[in-house]
């Protein structure tokens, strides 16, 4: 297994569905590529924005953290 890349908050912020073609979100220190999700296509999923750490926001979501299992981990947020 290869070591995960480190991703800064600035790099994450650029993957917001507007500035770059990739759409990323972070959760509990890991960065996920959610580009393939139709729910994140515009960079916004309900009141949540891509390119951010969503750890503190998950408590308000109608789903558990298992939702991240279907997305590829691409790095560690530093």
Tens digits of pLDDT across the chain (78 residues): 468 999 999 999 999 999 899 999 999 999 999 999 999 999 999 889 999 999 998 777 778 788 999 999 999 999
- pTM of structure: 0.90
15, 28, 60, 75, 77 from 8: Cα distances, Å = 11, 14, 25, 10, 6
Assigned CATH for 5-77: 3.10.120.10
Q: What are phi and psi of 12, to 5 degrees?
A: -60, -45
The residue count for the chain:
78
Q: Kindly list the domain boundaries of the chain, sorted by start residue.
A: 5-77
């Amino acid at each position: 297994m290869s070591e995960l890349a480190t991703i800064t908050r600035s790099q994450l912020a650029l993957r917001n569905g507007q500035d770059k073609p990739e759409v990323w979100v972070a959760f509990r220190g890991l960065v996920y590529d959610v580009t393939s999700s139709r729910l994140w296509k515009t960079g916004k999923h309900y009141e949540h924005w891509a390119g951010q750490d969503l750890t503190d926001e998950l408590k308000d979501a109608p789903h558990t953290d298992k939702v991240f299992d279907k997305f590829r981990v691409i790095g560690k947020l530093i």
